[in-house]
Structure 1
């Protein structure tokens, strides 16, 4: 059952949510108006959805949802294309069932309450593929924004999918798929922040499905969602691991970011792939090390150390394969933007970097690497960073080992504190410097980052938080790599 339904919360490439965006629902609303009158609910709805999908093999998920509701007398339509009718104090939404992971999602009960401009609700849903079935609940709460707020947010909503129209610097690319028997096909990937239902493809007479997007230059990872089942593009030979024992397809349009590419005219560091026979894990654990250019030439020079953690379900090669961290380091060092340092990239699998994996990294791997390479001692020369699950790990390990790390730089960390049961926000101290990054369009981690920021402020913790447009994607992480590596280098050299 778990294998049948795991993508309800763990969509390809990221940990994602079963999105229930107010579709197929009936809302009960209290108001002072007569029962026959139509309530005015048009505007921008800004909600947080909290899904319990434990019966479907998931571990729960929070997600920010923003959509517009237009109103013509008693008729409604939201920006997802769902229509509805106001009848007295009730809103009845009309929506077809939708598909995910080879099964159909239907609603058994969906009730919302609006008091003033506040929205709360609980949506019960069922998933079935004919052989297996499960159910869950999504709770939502949020606000219908006031007119002054609506303008800016509506603009953001309208611009959320600019890839559908030509824009300055964009490159047209047509995605196509042969699936003549399919009922619905979507394009999902970094262009949709891995949401399954953003870009609906059109069926052609020959049975092909196609969609043209106007994308900015660089690499884009993507998949097709065919009647709810995720699949990579078999006609495209370029692929990369998706973190869920599968593949994402990859296209590169135009030129990539200069720092991300190999420059044949400069000195290059070395990437060493090795493994460690861990007594703690009772197994062999692989890891990778980046040594700066010139490491072998100067046998006396010692270097700071960065521990760099990968995301959920991926491996120690993720930062080399998708992040091109070795190219960033070479190019930035050659330009004098950073001072070189050593990077060790452990294997974390799906561990959240807790339990035995924490002990292995802290008590086995780091001491071993320090003995093997010329590394400066002390916390002022030791930092930790990582993305997604690795962002949580960067925070968790730095907080647990404040005598080891002087700096923690979580990138789009998914801060589910149930993975840290000993965490006590009432007695929270953090001596390592803390520098948080998260994309504002990140449907996986933005909400948990906002929650952590509130907790840090309440505790009087000194930290830096930087957010900019971007999702839970390598498009975002590659865009901030030069900056966060500079932050780390500056810390080492202060």
Structure 2
């Protein structure tokens, strides 16, 4: 582990264009101790009248080396934690020494740093029960004290620049929450905002930044940092996730550490080097040491980690292995350290869900640190890469439906089979009958695909809560009909077998076991890839049973181009019936990079020739789950209306 962290800490992070320094990296040893030959700044202890509190309050003010009363300086307001006061930074972090060293190396702009007491109450000492309600409330009250009392005092006593572009705010823990709350809540006052290990007082993101467009225009820099083993990291991460989703450029800096001054000193070291200079916002995602654990990791597994620019760090212990790779579509060679750990950092990985495997001495294995998913014809690891436009499948505080595992005996197959069934919010407390979407997976997957990889329940929960989709039951059935499975051996007989299973096994079981409507206008059928072929076959041949068909990333095989082919011959002779019965015949592709794109275009040309009506959609992303999730999102909004 030590060797791995040393390797990562040695990575140079290139600074934004226009900054004086060549690189930014972790604070060197000795920056927080006095050293001969380094010019020193001065710390003033001041008092000011607080009309907000109704008393005289204290603050410390750092003036840079060579302070000149004839010059005007920008200002950083630096806030302490819940158990501290105006002296906490001085006692625990030696900020003046850190800044002195940075000035000596010409890495920061000359600035005044104000360290106030952020507990705005008459008895503002850090004594007694620091979690008492009145003391906690005083940290929120400090916003008014800061804006109406302290800032005017500083600007009246010191030669400082008074515009928002020359005013920054940052803090640690409780002060980190204050800095985010006050800075982002007052963008007319602050252009530079930093939160180091921000505490639970940090407002929820929608309150913290209700107008992302305004923030995007006004913020010079948002800096969020935390230790990877800090129990409060969830508050930094939720802020980062919201900023990522809403395209707010920011630094999300994660380093090895806990909730202590080692992390906070490094936060000040890095944040101060950005201040009051031009910032290349496109480069901000490069500034970190560690990534965040993937949501697909098991419980507390720290790896894989996703860096802000979507490179992924994989790590596995295999001391006796001779060669270890990560197979993520492309194979990455891992490097072994002296403790038997293998690591690699990938290139930037595309949005959404990806299957992957470890190749240990040539044997493909699931990563023991990852959740496993049935895909690629076997159990494999999976990793979820954050997607800023993926809010439609985010877990929200709304009513949620259920996914139920149901076993049934198939008379068509002569065996027991399984399905996953989504029931909408309120299903159990209602007497209503619901429409049904029968939803089919792709080759190498099964009934678990849409339930786990597809996030079907979250997509529908969110749409239903917004009134964009009708409450419906979704049946995610197993489309594998025995044999080799998947596309291999796919032929008319296999398609016919699926049609029989759907009509004789699945639909009768669902309609006898769930409170659903049983007419065609309340039934829909859709599928991806292999499931799209099954939809084309069983759906087109039975349009009297379905009002809508959805074909995602699929199409009849390109070598079946003659109108005399059985599939096209049936459609040609039944075009009027198909057009009359189907309210929605929706065909979608993952752009030209989708492996089924060519087949689909040839098929659609035949539809046009035969006069079969359809709607076509493209969503870039290839033959992948991010595309199919979006297909379900779009298609489900068309149904049963």
TM-score range, shorter chain: 0.5 to 0.7
C-alpha distance in 2 between matches for 1:315 and 1:252: 22
Instruction: Give 3-state SS (helix, strand or coil) of 2:516's partner.
Output: coil
**What residue is the counterpart of 2:456 in the other structure?**
325
Instruction: Give 3-state SS (helix, strand or coil) of 1:478's partner.
Output: helix
C-alpha distance in 1 between matches for 2:559 and 2:542: 19
Q: How many residues align?
A: 314
C-alpha distance in 1 between matches for 2:509 and 2:630: 32
> Match for 2:621 among 454, 465, 470?
470
TM-fit CA distance, 1:445: 1.4
C-alpha distance in 1 between matches for 2:359 and 2:621: 22
Higher helix share: 2
| Runs of 4 or more consecutive aligned structure 1 residues displaced over 6 Å after TM superposition | 165-169, 177-180, 202-207, 417-421
Tell me the alpha carbon deviations over residues 186-219 of structure 1, each in whole angstroms, 9 at most, x when there is no partner: 7434xxxxxxxx5654768989573432346654
**What residue is the counterpart of 1:59 in the other structure?**
none
CA contact (8 A) 2:355 2:380 kept: no
TM-fit CA distance, 1:443: 4.7
> Match for 2:348 among 211, 214, 222?
214
1:188 aligns with 2:188: no
CA contact (8 A) 2:366 2:379 kept: no
Instruction: Give 3-state SS (helix, strand or coil) of 1:483's partner.
Output: helix
Tell me the alpha carbon deviations over residues 424-451 of structure 1, each in whole angstroms, 9 at most, x when there is no partner: 3454623323111111254531221122
**What residue is the counterpart of 1:63 in the other structure?**
none
> Match for 2:630 among 458, 468, 479?
479
**What residue is the counterpart of 2:192 in the other structure?**
none
Which range moved further: 335-344 or 432-441? 432-441
Q: Greater relative contact order (Cα 8 A, min sep 6): structure 1 or 2? A: 1
Instruction: Give 3-state SS (helix, strand or coil) of 1:454's partner.
Output: helix
CA contact (8 A) 1:328 1:482 kept: yes
Q: How does 1:378-457 map to 2 (within 5 A)?
A: 378-416=519-557, 422-425=566-569, 427=573, 429=575, 430-431=578-579, 432=582, 433-457=584-608
Q: 1:375 to 1:298 in 2, by over 3 A?
A: same
Instruction: Give 3-state SS (helix, strand or coil) of 2:539's partner.
Output: helix
TM-fit CA distance, 1:394: 1.4
**What residue is the counterpart of 1:269 in the other structure?**
401
Tell me the alpha carbon deviations over residues 64-117 of structure 1, each in whole angstroms, 9 at most, x when there is no partner: xxxxxxxxxxxxxxxxxxxxxxxxxxxxxxxxxxxxxxxxxxxxxxxxxxxxxx
C-alpha distance in 2 between matches for 1:428 and 1:203: 60
Q: How does 1:292-311 map to 2 (within 5 A)?
A: 292-299=424-431, 301-311=432-442
Bigger Cα Rg? 2
**What residue is the counterpart of 1:336 in the other structure?**
467
Q: 1:248 to 1:451 in 2, by over 3 A?
A: farther
- Structure 1 gap segments, 5+ residues each: 1-164, 190-197
1:366 aligns with 2:507: yes
Tell me the alpha carbon deviations over residues 455-475 of structure 1, each in whole angstroms, 9 at most, x when there is no partner: 112212111111232121112
In angstroms, what is the RMSD of aligned CA positions?
3.5
Instruction: Give 3-state SS (helix, strand or coil) of 2:426's partner.
Output: coil
Q: How does 1:121-160 map to 2 (within 5 A)?
A: none
Q: 1:480 to 1:277 in 2, by over 3 A?
A: closer
Q: 1:169 to 1:250 in 2, by over 3 A?
A: closer
CA contact (8 A) 1:166 1:172 kept: no
TM-fit CA distance, 1:359: 0.7
CA contact (8 A) 2:401 2:461 kept: yes
C-alpha distance in 2 between matches for 1:245 and 1:199: 18
Q: 1:392 to 1:417 in 2, by over 3 A?
A: farther
TM-score, with length taken from structure 1: 0.56
Instruction: Give 3-state SS (helix, strand or coil) of 2:567's partner.
Output: coil
TM-fit CA distance, 1:389: 0.7
Q: 1:455 to 1:166 in 2, by over 3 A?
A: farther
TM-fit CA distance, 1:310: 1.3
CA contact (8 A) 2:312 2:348 kept: yes
CA contact (8 A) 1:414 1:444 kept: no
Instruction: Give 3-state SS (helix, strand or coil) of 2:398's partner.
Output: coil
TM-fit CA distance, 1:404: 0.4
C-alpha distance in 2 between matches for 1:262 and 1:434: 30
C-alpha distance in 2 between matches for 1:441 and 1:239: 29
C-alpha distance in 2 between matches for 1:381 and 1:331: 21
C-alpha distance in 1 between matches for 2:390 and 2:363: 29
> Match for 1:286 among 404, 409, 418?
418
- Structure 2 gap segments, 5+ residues each: 1-284, 288-306
C-alpha distance in 2 between matches for 1:455 and 1:317: 33
**What residue is the counterpart of 2:373 in the other structure?**
240
1:461 aligns with 2:612: yes
C-alpha distance in 1 between matches for 2:454 and 2:556: 22
CA contact (8 A) 1:185 1:200 kept: yes
> Match for 2:312 among 161, 173, 179?
173
Tell me the alpha carbon deviations over residues 335-394 of structure 1, each in whole angstroms, 9 at most, x when there is no partner: 111111111122111376623332121123212322333323432221111111111111
Q: 1:356 to 1:215 in 2, by over 3 A?
A: closer
1:375 aligns with 2:516: yes
